[in-house]
Structure 1
């Protein structure tokens, strides 16, 4: 097969790997581009399994980026939300996007992955999400297979203890989001509390840091207080989950992503960073 065709066959898969390891769309694209450049410069006779070879390149580039980030950041905790993948709500019926949705990862999980060490994150993503054997992962993190297994195990415990998986049909989850928005619009505090989990967490990224608020009453009070008659709300999908994009005069001002478990909202992630919102697809609000 032609190298270009070979690469394009695996591009979406490679981008998914890089995005889950990095949580950044631009960094993921850089890692995939680097894999293409190395494939282009390599001798085809030395690449017996292009998919495995490309995955290794992307993983190694992504790991180096993660390690560089950690050395630049003083605190071992995220100071921003991961990049969201945002689509129009009606795109869920598109066959091409449907395939992407089937493999999507919620924003809440990406937030948890941001708290892992670079080696833990790589081991967890490659093994638990993509099924790579620990023998291959061990070579990437320069440890024994047993040590690589331990990295993934530690990450798995952190993820299971911190990341709730959305439940219910997408239509049912959308109804919960609509009920939340209606109550917020009316300033209905009790209506808001009714759709919020008692331990709900709200995270907001304004571009100057990540702020968090916990508890149904506190989050309901914040939602009831923050009402803008000028804001138009558009239904969107954020990493496959029902979300809302708020705009004023066609300009995005806030993106809300929800995690819903057993009919109640357990997490709300708000991206309100003007610079990152400016990069969203204009077709989202057409």
Structure 2
């Protein structure tokens, strides 16, 4: 599990009551339904090319403009249905959401919400039969389309603590780190080490290739720059496994994404 030490002390009552989880509400699974609809077509050298996107059938319109979003129920964080990600050739679409929780004694404290985005070409790259395959998420990682994990902090966390938590997920999954792995880990660490990650900070971890991941961080809106490039298949696959492997750090995220994939590919 991904252990995160919160930088803001968890004081005893009365302030600790702010973090007591609310009673469970009716399950929202699947949080939204997805389908493919043709949004445009063009002619190229006499051929008709249909461009398709994933479109939620049940989503909530934001109060600002016409943007649509999905509400992650555990944290009430809004995730846009479509996301422009630095380094990606096209907008990615939301496949599922969840949250990361750290338990102190008997009290669960939510640290961040997360949304998993993929390229709309997922249906063309993966067949429906993959849904029941135990290697589903490995296939998603290795498939030739871009994917991104958007993290939204709901607590203040210092960068060193956040990195240590990521490293605790990555390092045990690498039996014998190579010099390439060590350089990638060093780059990853330096990206977070001296940052103060405040409540509301956005972090994008984007797999543009199975062995290449982009890191983007912003405390004031959607990240527009690439803060680091991590090039190590061991590192990038280990992190992905931490979220979507047998012992995911966010079970709610993995379950939600699995639901979304099943709807998309069937």
Does TM, scored on the shorter chain, surpass 0.5? Answer: no
The structure with more helix, counted as a fraction of residues = 1
Q: TM-score range by the shorter chain?
A: under 0.3
Q: Which is higher, the Rg of structure 1 or of structure 2?
A: 1
Larger relative contact order (Cα-Cα within 8 Å, sequence gap ≥ 6): 2
